[in-house]
Amino acid sequence: MSLHKTFFYRPLLCCLSVFSILAPATAAAEMPSWQEETLSGDWGGARAKLFEKGITLDSTHRSDVMGNLDGGTQRGSSWLGYTDIRGGFDLEKLYGWSGTEAYIQFHSTLGGKPNEQYVGSSMGVDNIEVGANTAQFYHAWVQKTLLDERLSVLLGLYPVDSEFYVTDTSGLFLHPSLGMAAEVAQSGSNGPPVYPLGALGMRVKYTSPDHTTYLQAALLDGVPGDPADPYGTQIKLNREDGTFAIMELGYTPLEAKGEPAAAGDTAQPEVEAFNKTAFGLWRYSNRFDDLSEVDAAGTALQQASFGWYMLAERTLFTEAANANNGLAGFLRFGSASADVHQSDWSASAGLRYRGLCAGRDDDIAGIVVTVSHASTKYRDVNLSTERETAIEATYRIQVKPWLGVQPLVQRIIAPNMDPALSDSTLLGARLELFL
C-alpha cells in the first residue's frame, strides 16, 4: 500500500499568512535588517509587520555559469539557476503554542547540467545541479523545543544535510561534495534525503546544559521522493522503502552561553568564529545488490548500506585589527560499505580567509581538496582508477550585503574514476542575490 501526497506551496503560504493576521501579536524579537541586507527591502513595511506577528519570509537566487575547458566528456559551458522561498513561523506568537515553530522552503532549479553534459564526475561539479529541473518543497516541518530549549523534536519533510555532516566553513565552495560528502550522497535507491530532496521523518536533538555538546538523530523514509516521478513534491510511503537513520555527536564549545554582562558594560560586536568536532553514523534498513558477488542462481547478494564520518573545523587565527578577519579551516572524512558502493571513503580539507585583501573585509577566499576513493569491488568490476580528486579555488566578492559574485576554478582528476576520461579543468562564476 502506498501513500502519495503532493503539496502546493501557494495555498499553504496564503492560509498561514491569513491566519497570522488574525492571531494576536506578541512582543517582537530583534528584527532583521531587510532594507540593508536584501534587494527588495522591507516591502514597504510588510515584512516588519509579518515579523511582529511571527512570520519571517526570505528568498535567494543563485545563477552559475560553468565551463569545461578540457578533459571530461567534451568541452562546453552552461548556465544553471536556483531560486528558493523560505518561510519561518513562530507558532508561539501566532497561536500561543509554546516553544513551537514551523519552517518551509520551496525551491526551483533551471538551466543546464555541466557535469552531466561535459565532465562526467561521480561527485559532480556544481552544488545546484540536479537530475531533473523542477520546483518542489525541500523543507516542510514543525519543531517543538522543551527543557529550556535543550531538547527539540522535529516532524515533517526534512533533509539531513541541513544539520548532519555540516561544516560552515565548507559552505563557501561550489563543489557538491562540500555539502553532503560523496560517500553518503551516492547511497540509496533515489539518493539519501539531501538536496534537492527531503524525506518525511523525525529528528530529535539534545544539547547539554552548558551548550557545548549535542546529540542528534533522525529517522526518515528510505526513498525520498518518487523515483518514477522526479517532478514536483512527491511523498510516497511504501513498506518496501525501508528507512534511513543517522546519528551525530558533536562538540561546539563556542556555542556555550556566557555570563550576562555587568551593568554598564559595552556590548561587543558579534565575531564569526569556528570550533566544531563531530562524529556520525548512518544506515539504511534495506539491503542492496552486491557489486560483484552472486548466489548459486546468479542473483546478486544483498548487503547492508551503512557508514560513519568525522569532521572538525576551527578558526586558525584572526587579525588583530578585526577579529572577523582571518583564517579558518576544516577536515572531513567518511566511510561507506564497500560491498555496494562505488566509493568506500571520501576525505576533504579546506582553508578559507575572510578579509584577505585590504579594504575588502567581507570578501572570502578559499581553496579545497576532496577525494573519493573507489572500493575494491568497484575497481575490479569496472577496471577503474583508484580515486577521483577535485580541487577548487574561489574568491567570493561581497559587492553589497545582498549581492555576492564568486569566480572559481576547478580541476577534476580522473572523473568518475574512469581511465577513459582525461582530467577536467573548469572555470565558473556564481552570482547570488538575497531577495
Per-residue pLDDT of 117-128, as tens digits, reads: 999 999 999 999
Task: For residues 253-260, give the mean pLDDT.
Answer: 63
What mean pLDDT do residues 218-234 have? 93
pLDDT of residue 103: 97
| Strand, coil or helix: 185 | helix
pLDDT of residue 343: 97
- The beta strand positions in 226-342, using DSSP E, are 235-238, 243-251, 275-294, 300-318, 326-336
Give 309's contacts (C-beta < 8 A, 6+ positions apart): 165, 181, 183, 184, 279, 280, 282, 332, 333, 334, 335
Task: Supply the pLDDT for residue 98.
Answer: 94
Q: Report the share of the chain in percent with pLDDT over 90.
A: 83
Q: Is the pLDDT of residue 338 over 50?
A: yes
d(CA 376, CA 342): 9
Model pTM score: 0.88
- What are the Cα distances from residue 276, in Å, to 155, 168, 325, 332? 26, 9, 19, 11
Q: Which three cell numbers stand for residue 386?
A: 583508484
pLDDT at 148 over 80: yes
Which pLDDT band, with edges at 50, 70 and 90, does 386 fall under? very high
What is the C-alpha to C-alpha distance for residues 226 and 156, in angstroms, rounded to an integer?
A: 17
Q: What is the mean pLDDT of residues 161-174?
A: 96
What are the chain's domains?
2-22+46-256+273-434 (2.40.160.180)
For the cut 70, the answer to whether the pLDDT of residue 258 exceeds it is no
| pLDDT of 205 higher than 90 | yes
Pairing assessment for the beta strands 151-158 and 243-251 based on DSSP bridges: unpaired
Whether the link from the prior residue into 227 is cis, omega within 30° of 0, is: no
Q: Is 271 in a helix, a strand, or coil?
A: coil
Asked if residues 417 and 374 have their Cβ atoms less than 8 Å apart, the reply is yes
Give the pLDDT band of residue 7 (cuts 50, 70, 90): very low
Residue 167 grid cell: 561544516
Per-residue pLDDT averaged across 53-65, rounded?
A: 97
pLDDT at 269: 54
pLDDT for the residue numbered 19: 37
**Average pLDDT over all residues of the chain:** 90
Give the mean model confidence (pLDDT) for residues 10-14. 40
pLDDT of the residue at 254:
86
